[in-house]
């Protein structure tokens, strides 16, 4: 067996040092990468879903919440007209696993959907499912406060 030359040993050490240089960094201010964040946490939490009926009649409204390609909430709500003081607030607990969240609203045979997205710099979204005056569904989204954010503010 041939003994290792000095050049071979130094070359191997240089390769190992270069490979570990990023791992050995002592920079504590490093933020997790977007890729790491997407793999380890939800991008947006759902504060609640508010149902409003602008039509004259009572409507059955189906609310389906899909998270990470699985339904985590599916229920039907009878929503009175807003002119008669009707409306519903639906609280949905999302699983801790990462993944996209989509809120689907169905009135009669019409569906509409909205994927949650960060609004106004906040990580919590409030969704409003609306029965329009013609009986068709619409979905709107805005910033909201989640339970854990309220606890941090106190």
Give the pLDDT confidence of 29-67 residue by residue, as tens digits: 555 455 544 444 567 888 899 999 999 999 999 999 999
pLDDT number for residue 151: 38
Task: Output the furthest CA–CA distance in the chain (Å, rounded).
Answer: 93
Q: What is the DSSP string of the chain?
A: -PPPPHHHHHHHHHHHHHHHTTTT---TTPPPPHHHHHHHS-S-EEEEEEEEE-SSS-EEEEEEEEETTEEEEEEEEEE--GGGT--EEE--PPPSS---EEEEEEETTEEEEEE---BTTBSEEEEEEEE-TTS-EEEEEEE---HHHHHHH-
pLDDT in tens, 109-133: 999 999 988 665 667 888 999 999 9
pLDDT for 5? 58
Whether residue 22 is predicted with pLDDT greater than 50 in this model: the reply is: no
Pick the CATH number of 42-153 from 3.40.50.1360, 2.60.40.1930, 3.40.190.10, 3.30.70.890: 2.60.40.1930
Q: How confident is residue 24, by pLDDT bands cut at 50, 70 and 90?
A: very low
Please check whether residue 51 is in contact with residue 60, taking contact to mean a CB–CB distance below 8 angstroms.
no
Cα distance between residue 109 and residue 111, in whole Å: 7
Q: Which residues of 12-42 are buried (b: 16+ CB within 10 A; e: fewer)?
A: eeeeeeeeeeeeeeeeeeeeeeeeeeeeeeb
Confidence of residue 99 (pLDDT cuts 50, 70, 90): confident
Q: Averaged over 66-80, what is the pLDDT?
A: 95
pLDDT reported for residue 10: 56
Domain boundaries, the chain: 6-36, 42-153
């Amino acid at each position: 067996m041939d003994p290792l030359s000095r050049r071979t040993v130094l070359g191997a050490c240089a390769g190992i040092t270069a490979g570990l240089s990023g791992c050995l960094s002592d920079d504590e201010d490093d933020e997790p990468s977007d890729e790491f964040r997407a793999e380890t946490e939800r991008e947006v939490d759902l504060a609640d879903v508010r149902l409003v009926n602008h039509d004259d009649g009572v409507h059955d409204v189906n609310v389906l919440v899909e998270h990470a390609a699985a339904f985590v909430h599916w229920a039907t709500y009878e929503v009175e007209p807003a002119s008669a003081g009707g409306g519903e607030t639906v609280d949905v607990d999302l699983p801790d696993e990462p993944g996209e969240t989509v809120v689907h609203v169905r009135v009669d045979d019409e569906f509409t959907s909205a994927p949650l997205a960060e609004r106004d710099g906040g990580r919590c979204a409030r969704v409003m499912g609306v029965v329009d005056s013609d009986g068709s569904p619409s979905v709107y989204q805005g910033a909201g406060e989640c339970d854990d954010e309220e606890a941090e503010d106190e």
